[in-house]
Amino acid sequence: MKGVSFVMDDKNRKRAVIIELKTIEQNQEAVEDLLDVIVAESRRDEPKKDWNEVKKSLKKKGKL
């Protein structure tokens, strides 16, 4: 995407993202999608939770 750059480390791994403000203003939805992907990728190795247990917990807290 034009206006989006990644900062790489010495092993060519992505370490940061730079998004021009003009790009954010003009492509807000696409930038939000990009950020969602970045967050999901960063959490890839986190332990998974069973949906039924999460739903049960949310109901118990009155949030569902």
Report the distance separating Cα 48 and Cα 53, nearest Å. Answer: 11
Domain boundaries, given as residue ranges, for the chain: 4-60
Confidence of residue 44 (pLDDT cuts 50, 70, 90): very high
- Cβ pair 34, 4 in contact under 8 A: yes
* Mean pLDDT, rounded, of the chain: 91
pLDDT of residue 31: 83
Q: What are phi and psi of 47, to 5 degrees?
A: -65, 145
pTM to 2 decimals?
0.52
| pLDDT above 80 for 25 | yes
pLDDT (average), residues 20-28: 89
